[in-house]
Structure 1
């Protein structure tokens, strides 16, 4: 199976404190789940489409591992901390071989 990339796009941040609590829990949860952070933060440039406040790209050994990390108890605690603090879109895409 090819590597896979988790792309988390925050389309809106509603509560910075909830986002901070999420970040504290989500980072370790993703690393425990086999992920490696490649990029995170505000976009360096927006060439097309609406501006977004934050994007995260995480590499996983494969898509199944990325999906399992999402459903892990540790990441679910991060999601509870975030609650309604942000609106996001998450995609997992396979790497090119």
Structure 2
């Protein structure tokens, strides 16, 4: 079964305090769900598309594990903390074997 990658792109940050609360809760929730952070932070270079303030890439053992981590009570608490503090897009993609 191929690994899966959770790609979280923040398209806008509206409240840095809410974002900080989210980060504090979301990281442990993703790790507890089997995730491993591969990259996070501001893009180092933008070659196509518009500017985005933050991107996170998390590796999971499977799509099912990534989706379960998203729906976990711990991650849902992180989402509640974030609230309207950011606009973002989340994609789960299969890794290449």
Structure-1 residue corresponding to 2:85: 85
Structure-2 residue corresponding to 1:31: 31
Normalised to the residue count of structure 2, the TM-score between the two structures is 0.99
| Structure 2 unaligned spans of 5+ | none
SS at match of 2:51: coil
Aligned: 1:52 with 2:52? yes
The residue correspondences of 1:40-79 to structure 2 (distance < 5 A) are: 40-79=40-79
Q: Where does structure 1 differ by over 6 angstroms across 4 or more consecutive aligned residues?
A: none
What's the offset of the Cα at 1:17? 0.1
| Structure 1 unaligned spans of 5+ | none
- Give the length in aligned residue pairs: 97
Normalised to the residue count of structure 1, the TM-score between the two structures is 0.99
